[in-house]
């Protein structure tokens, strides 16, 4: 995605499209009758928190279930008990966690973290990041000072192409029943240059035009789309639907470091059609698929399907280089790496 980038024909200024993704589920020690709601936190307090992260709000949409913020560096989603903060570039989301916990307790009374997921793909230029985000080990060390029961994972090839995850390993689940939850991410690199040119001011005069030309509006129908086309290039969008479903896409189009991320939590028994629509829209040479689902979700069996040779085959257009499957306390996870079949 895209904050403003200074570009000239001889020297393209590097931008790190890879996002740091923080998802936190809150609860209360006072039990199920607690009426807290993260959406009660006023906007100006979110704006103050995001200053710590080094980004700002540039657009907003909402419905009865979820609030969606387009940020100068990616997105933030706020639901009753869940916060998703996804930021790219040289942002510092982990620096805000302590302030976040205090803010949430002040306005909602939520005084416990029920679940936490921090994840990211490996950076293209890690040396440009700011502490604690220069290395995953440094990120884990900071998180371990806040949470006593965290565990860290590296999936894929740590020396080349990998995905990092930090999550909590609580001794027991929450007493309340888990609500259905699932997340699909597709992280794409080395993208089709003609398609990427859509997300420049030279090719499109508005975000709506880029959304329509690229077919983003058709990936998941019936989403209320809030999109933004940066100057001179780069694109972000959030989409929200009923029952708290969302979709978000962020695009860094420069050929030297092109990157696209797609994420959604729509409930599906099988995501093959969604994944295929994403891949046809962007035509990456390399991509990673990450799928989380808890046992209450209709997507609970999806991770097992990835093990089948026929799943994500797409006429042999992409090769699966690696696949890893993890089972956590409440969630199953699949992480699969793909590359374009040699022509």
Taking the C-alpha atoms of residue 343 and residue 20, their distance in angstroms, rounded to an integer, is: 33
Measured in degrees and rounded to the nearest 5, phi and psi for residue 240 equal -130, 150
Cβ atoms < 10 Å from Cβ of 68: 25
First-to-last C-alpha distance (Å) of the chain: 29
Tell me the backbone φ, ψ of residue 128, rounded to 5 degrees.
-90, -10
Which residues are tagged catalytic?
16, 19, 74, 88, 236, 250
Residue 235 and residue 227 in contact, taking contact as beta carbons nearer than 8 Å: yes
């Amino acid at each position: 995605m895209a904050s403003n980038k200074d570009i000239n024909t001889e020297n393209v200024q590097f931008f790190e499209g890879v996002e740091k993704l923080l998802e936190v589920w809150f609860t209360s020690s006072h039990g199920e009758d607690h009426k807290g709601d993260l959406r009660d936190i006023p906007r100006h307090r979110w704006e103050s928190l995001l200053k710590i992260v080094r980004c700002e709000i540039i657009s907003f949409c909402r419905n009865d279930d979820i609030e969606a913020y387009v940020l100068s560096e990616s997105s933030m989603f706020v639901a009753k008990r869940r916060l998703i903060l996804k930021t790219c570039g040289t942002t510092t989301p982990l620096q805000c966690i302590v302030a976040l916990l205090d803010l949430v307790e002040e306005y909602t009374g939520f005084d416990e973290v029920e679940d936490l997921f921090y994840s990211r793909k490996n950076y293209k230029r890690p040396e440009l990041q700011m502490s604690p985000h220069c290395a995953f080990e440094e990120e884990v060390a900071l998180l371990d000072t806040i949470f006593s029961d965290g565990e860290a994972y590296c999936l894929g090839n740590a020396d080349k192409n990998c995905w990092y995850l930090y999550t909590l390993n609580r001794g027991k689940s929450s007493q309340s029943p888990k609500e259905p939850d699932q997340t699909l991410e597709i992280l794409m690199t080395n993208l089709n240059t003609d398609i990427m040119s859509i997300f420049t001011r030279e090719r499109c005069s508005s975000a709506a035009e880029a959304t329509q030309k690229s077919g983003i509006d058709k990936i998941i129908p019936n989403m209320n789309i809030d999109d933004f086309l940066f100057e001179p290039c780069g694109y972000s969008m959030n989409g929200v639907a009923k029952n708290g479903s969302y979709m978000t896409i962020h695009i860094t189009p420069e050929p030297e470091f092109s990157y696209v991320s797609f994420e959604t939590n729509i409930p599906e028994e099988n995501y093959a059609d969604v994944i295929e629509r994403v891949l046809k829209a962007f035509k990456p040479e390399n991509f990673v698929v990450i799928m989380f689902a808890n046992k209450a979700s209709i997507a609970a069996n999806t991770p097992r399907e990835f093990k089948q040779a026929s799943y994500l085959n797409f006429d042999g257009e992409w090769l699966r280089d690696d696949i890893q499957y993890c089972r956590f306390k409440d969630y199953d996870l699949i992480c699969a790496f793909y590359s374009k079949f040699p022509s």
